[in-house]
Amino acid sequence: MPRVFNFSAGPAVLPEDVLQEAQSTMLDYKGSGMSLLESSHRGKEYEAVHNEAIANLKKLMGLGEDYTIIFMTGGASAQFALVPLNLLGPEQTADYVNAGAWGTKAIKEAKGIGKVHIVADTTRDRPLRMPKQGEMKFTPSAAYLHLTSNETIEGTQMRVFPKTSTPMVVDASSDFLSYPVDFKQFGLIYAGAQKNMGPAGVTLVAIRKDLLAQSSESIPLIFRYKTHAAENSLYNTPPCFAIYLVMLVTRWIEKKGGLAALAKINADKAAALYAAIDGSGGYYRGSASREDRSDMNVTYRLPTEELEDKFIKEASAAGLKGLKGHRSVGGIRASIYNAFPRAGVDALVNFMKEFQQKNG
Ligand SMILES: *Cc1c(COP(=O)(O)O)cnc(C)c1O
């Protein structure tokens, strides 16, 4: 079976080089006589992988000594709880932007922990869109402002972030490392690995040290950012193999030319797909407002749901997999993360043209 074009939103396609490298070390990691899957997280083989992953991520993110990178488990969903547990004091309010399904989930969790204020809510707007800073009503001296940089389900992306003295916390799960961002504008960045950075099982948290110093000491040790930071993410056994793959992905990104080079490739891929949508005479209709269109998740509709079902079925038979949109938005979602090849975008564009000719 040849490899298909995998448009899945996550877990998502990984670079073939990375999979091959991991395969080649599966039985014997660098002469150790065992797989990294079987190695101690305190052994020298794993230690080198762990520290290289952190160093490479810090470098790609352009962060210095004033930030700490930790690896955690429980996905970005665990961060929905851990952010307020660690950073939202009992007398404080946290500001949240709600622009989609993931923002909504983060808010639901935070509301169970402390006081939450919604600064803007665009979830009912059509076309789907991100709010602008002018629409946001901030709380003076909020504990933090929480944003979702890329709403994976809706296919909307925020690239210009609010200017505020409140520390910004960003869920960057689905556009992390896809283009150069000034990460220093955030107090905390978190991202589940399985969209753009590796397999499921590990979540990156990068936190500014002043926020880390203020974070809670009245929650269980295992949930404190401080615990994991103090132990270099080795307080408990980390997901070693997932972190190994993340490390390989960071090397792959470096080899590709870094974030600027990836941004160009990603923008070209997205532009080709949006051009096919916009050039279809209204047969395909983008779900997101043009100015907020995501380069990572391209969402669109066909004239009827019956045609959408047919499209997804026939695309799948042609080796274009994982195109079904989330049920809350409907239609098609093509996730085209860093590792998704340009050839797959071209194949989808051709398929769309043929499908329209036959069914238009
Ligand atoms: C996928 C995703 C999540 C949830 O990740 P889990 O690992 O399933 O917890 C949260 N936020 C965004 C933006 C996502 O894309």
Task: Please give the structure tokens belonging to residue 213.
Answer: 């110093």
Ligand 1 atom closest to the Cα of residue 79 is 9
Write the CB contacts of 174 (distance below 8 Å, at least 6 apart in sequence): 9, 10, 149, 150, 151, 152, 195, 196, 294, 296, 297, 335, 337
Confidence of residue 273 (pLDDT cuts 50, 70, 90): very high
Instruction: Please report the beta strands in 64-196, taking only residues with DSSP state E, as ranges in sequence order.
Output: 67-72, 93-98, 115-121, 145-148, 150-151, 156-157, 168-171, 188-192
* Mean pLDDT, residues 206-212 taken together: 98
- Answer yes or no: pTM beyond 0.75: yes
Task: Please give the structure tokens belonging to residue 281.
Answer: 């005479």
Whether residue 1 has pLDDT greater than 90 = no
CA of 68 to the centre of ligand 1 (A): 21
Write the CB contacts of 147 (distance below 8 Å, at least 6 apart in sequence): 97, 103, 158, 161, 162, 168, 169, 170, 171
Residue with CA nearest ligand 1 atom 8: 75
Question: Residue 8 CA to chain centroid, in angstroms?
Answer: 13
CA of 48 to the centre of ligand 1 (A): 28
Distance (Å, whole) CA 244 – CA 73: 15
Condensed to tens digits (0 to 9), the pLDDT of residues 123-170 reads 999 999 999 999 999 999 999 999 999 999 999 999 999 999 999 999
Confidence of residue 256 (pLDDT cuts 50, 70, 90): very high
Residue whose C-alpha is closest to residue 155's, from 96, 226, 213, 101: 101
Ligand 1 atom closest to the Cα of residue 77 is 9
Whether residue 106 has pLDDT greater than 90 = yes
Q: Which of 77, 98, 205 to mutate to test the pocket of ligand 1 (most atoms within 8 A of CB)?
A: 77
Residue with CA nearest ligand 1 atom 12: 173
Question: Residue 105 CA to chain centroid, in angstroms?
Answer: 15
CB 314 within 8 A of CB 307: no
Check residue 2 and give its pLDDT. 87
CB 212 within 8 A of CB 68: yes
CA of 76 to the centre of ligand 1 (A): 5
